[in-house]
Structure 1
Amino acid sequence: MWFAVYQLLWHLLLPFAFIRLAWRTRHSVDYLKHFSERLGFAYGKSITQGSVWIHAVSVGETRAAQPLIEAYLARGETILLTHMTLNGRRTGSALFAQAIAAGQLRQVYLPYDLCWSVANFIRTFKPKFGLFMETEAWPTVVFYCAEIGLPLFLVNARLSERSARRVNRFGKAGRSLFQAFAGILAQTEFDAQRYRSLGVKQVEIIGNLKFDVPLDPNLVQQGKAWQQELHGNQRLMVCAASTRDGEEAIILKAWKDLLLGNAFEIAPLLCIVPRHPERFSEVANQIHDAGLKFRRRSEWGGVPQGVTDLDVILGDSMGEMPMYYSTADLVVMGGSLLPFGGQNLIEACAAGCPVLLGEHTYNFQQAALDAIKIGAAKRIQGEFILSQPIALMEALKELLLNTAELAKMSSAAKTYSLEHQGATKRILAALEHQNFTLN
C-alpha cells in the first residue's frame, strides 16, 4: 500500500521536478541537457550492456568512487556511472575523461524513481550488478532490482543516528528498503550497527573509500607553490572549506574580530570556499558587507599572486580543493559549525593540513573521532551563532600563534590518512565472494 502511495506522490511531484530543473537554468543551461535520461529513455544508439553499474549522486560520492571505478577499469570492465546532479556529472566527466573517450565508461542520469522509468533504464543497460555509493536508497530502484534478481549493493555505506531514527519511523516499510539490498558494505562499526538494527543481515565493515582517493598532483604542486610564496612573506593561510549557508557569516565575523585583535605581526589570510557554486556571488556580497578586502580565485589564471593587501580570498572554483588544502596551514571544516553533519575532512588530512571541527560531524562520525584521537584535528566546543563566534576566533588565534603545534598536527594528519587506506581492496574482495561472476 505504502509503495503505491509513494508512486502516486512521485507522479504528482513530477511537474515540480521539471519546474525546478528549469528554474536552475538561471545558473546553467546544462541543467536541461540529457533531460530524457531522467525519465528513463532516449539514451542514444551506443548502449553497452553488462557493465558494472556505479551510482554516485553528486560531487563527493563521485570523487569517493574514483579508486573503485579505476580498479574496475584496470580489470577491463566497462562502467555505467549514474548521477543525480549536474555537478556530479561534471566531476565524473573530468575524472574519467580518458575512459569515456575510449568507450569504457558511460555517464547517464539515474532516472526519477518511477516504476516505468526505472524498468526501462534497467532493461536498456542490463547491468551486471549495481553499487550505490554511501546513502542512496531509492525504493523503486532497490525493490525492482531485488525482484528481478539484479544484485545491488550499498557500498562505502554510512548511516547517521538521526537517519536511522528517521528510517525506523517508517516502520517495516523503511527497514525493508535496506533489507532488499544484496549486501551493505559499511564504513565503520557505528554504521554497521545501525544497519543491523534495521534488520539487515548482510553487512560488512570495509572502511572509507575516501582514504583511497588520490590528490591531483598538479593541484598539490600549485598549492605548495602558493604556500611557499605566502610563507616567504611570513603569512599563514586558513581555508574555510565546503562552507554551508549560515556558516560564512559566523566565520567572517570571527575572522574580522581576529584581525582587529592585532595579535599578529603579519595578519593571516582567509580562503573561504563555499560548498555550492550557486552561492559564490552571495558569499562575495557577505565578504564585501563585512568590510574585508578580498578577491575571487577566478580573477587569477594560475596560482594567486600578490595577495599581501587582502584579508580574504573567495575560492569560487570547482575541483581545486587539493590546491587549497596544500596551501593552507589550517582548515575550518564546513558543515560542522551548524547542524549539516560536516563535510569530508579526509582530503584535508591527506594533504597534511590540520583541521578544526565544530560539533556537527555525524556524517563523518568515526573519521572525526579518529582524526581527533591521533591529533590531526581539534574540535571547537559549543554551538555557533553569529553573535557569539568567540570560540572559533580563539581556536584560530591559539593555533595560528603556535606553528610548532600546527606542524605536529600536520604530521599526524598525514599518518592518519595513510593508516586508514585499503577500502577499495576490501570492497573488491567482498564482492568477489558473492554469487555472481566478475570478468
Structure 2
Amino acid sequence: MLAKLSQLPNGVRQYMLVTFNYWNFTLTDGALRMLVVLHFHQLGYSPLEIASLFLFYEFFGVVTNLIGGWLGARLGLNKTMNIGLFMQVIALLMLAVPSVNLTVIWVMFAQALSGIAKDLNKMSAKSAIKTLVPNDQQGALYKWIALLTGSKNALKGVGFFLGGTLLALIGFQGAVVLMACVLTVVFVCSLLWLDKDLGKAKNKVKFSQIFSKSRSINILSAARMFLFGARDVWFVIALPLYLGQVFGWDYVLVGSFLAVWVIGYGVVQSIAPGITGKVAGVVPDGLAAFAWASILALVTGAIALALQFNWYPEFTIVIGLMIFGAIFAINSSLHSYLIVSYAKGDGVSLDVGFYYMANAMGRLIGTLLSGAVYQLYGLSMCLWIAFVFIAMTTIISLWLPRSHTNPVSI
C-alpha cells in the first residue's frame, strides 16, 4: 500500500495527508463538543451555563482566523496545521484532570485553546487546496473544496456519536486521553510527511496585510458572517433546548437528531458541485450565490411563519430544518469554493484567514443571540432573526462578481 501511495503525484499525496489531518481533527472536535455538553450536564450545569463554556471557543476563532492567515503566509501552512494539531492535544490533556478540578475558568481556557487549534487547522487545510490545484482548473478546485468541506461536517456529526459512546464506555477522562493519543500519532505523521513550505508566501508578508484589500473577498466575507450567524442563532442553544423542553425529547434523541442533521449537511456539501451545475461543466459565480441565498431565505421565512402560528410544530421543526440544512449546505459549499477561487495564489492563507474570521464572527454573534433570544422570546423569534440575517446575505451577494460565460447554477 505504501508503495502505491509513493507512486502518486506529490500534489495528490499532499491533498490526502491534509485531508487525513483534517478528518482526524474534526472527529475529536465533534466528540469533544458532545463530551463537554453531556459531562457537564451530569455535573449539574444548566444548558445556558454549558453554552457559556463555548464562548471562548468561538471568540478565539475570530482572532485566530485573522492572525492565522498571516502566520500561514509567513511560516507555511504545514507549520500552522501542525501547531493546530499540537494545541488540540494540549487542550484535550487539560480536560483529563479529575472532575473536581474542572472549574468553569479551566474548561473555558481549554476550549479557547481548542478553538484556536480548530481554526488554525481549518484555515490551513482549505488554503492548502488552493496551492495544490492549478489556477486554470476551477472545476477541480470546486470539487476538492466541496469534498473536503462536506466530509468534515459529516465527520463532525460522527464525532457527536463518538463523544457520547466514549463517555458511556470509558468516561470523560478516558475519552479525552484516548483522543489525545490518536491526535499525537497524526501530529507525528504530519511532521514527517507534510511539505515544509506548503502555502508559504514568496514575498515577505506584513502584519498590516491581514485585512483583505480585495473587494470580492470583503463582500463574500460579509455575506458569510450573516449566513453563519443565521444558522447558529437557532442551532447552537435554542434548538437543543426547544427539543427537550417542548417536545420532551431525551438527551440521546436530541444528540442523535443534531448528529444526523450535521452528517446530512456534510453529505450535501460533498455533492454540491453536481447540484449546482458542475456535471454540466458550469462553475458557479456570484449570481449562483445570490440565487441559492434567496432560496434559503424563503425556506427560513416559511419555517418561522409556520412555527409562529404553531402549525404542526414537530413536523415543521424536523422536516423544515432538514430542508434548511440541505439548502444551507449548498450555500456554504458555494462560499467555500468562491473564497478559495478569489484568493491570491501567493499567500492564499491571508485571504482565507480573513474570510473565516468573518465566519467565526457570525458564529459568535449567533451563539450569543441564540441563548438570549430563546430565553426571552422563544425559537420562532430565533428563526425570524435567522431570516433577517439570510436576507442580508442575499442582498450582499448581489455585489459578488459574476461570470458572463456561465449561466446561473441552481
Q: Using structure 2 for the length normalisation, give the TM-score.
A: 0.28
Q: Using structure 1 for the length normalisation, give the TM-score.
A: 0.26
Larger relative contact order, structure 1 or 2 (CA cutoff 8 Å, min sep 6): 2
Q: Which has the higher strand share?
A: 1
Q: Which has the higher helix share?
A: 2
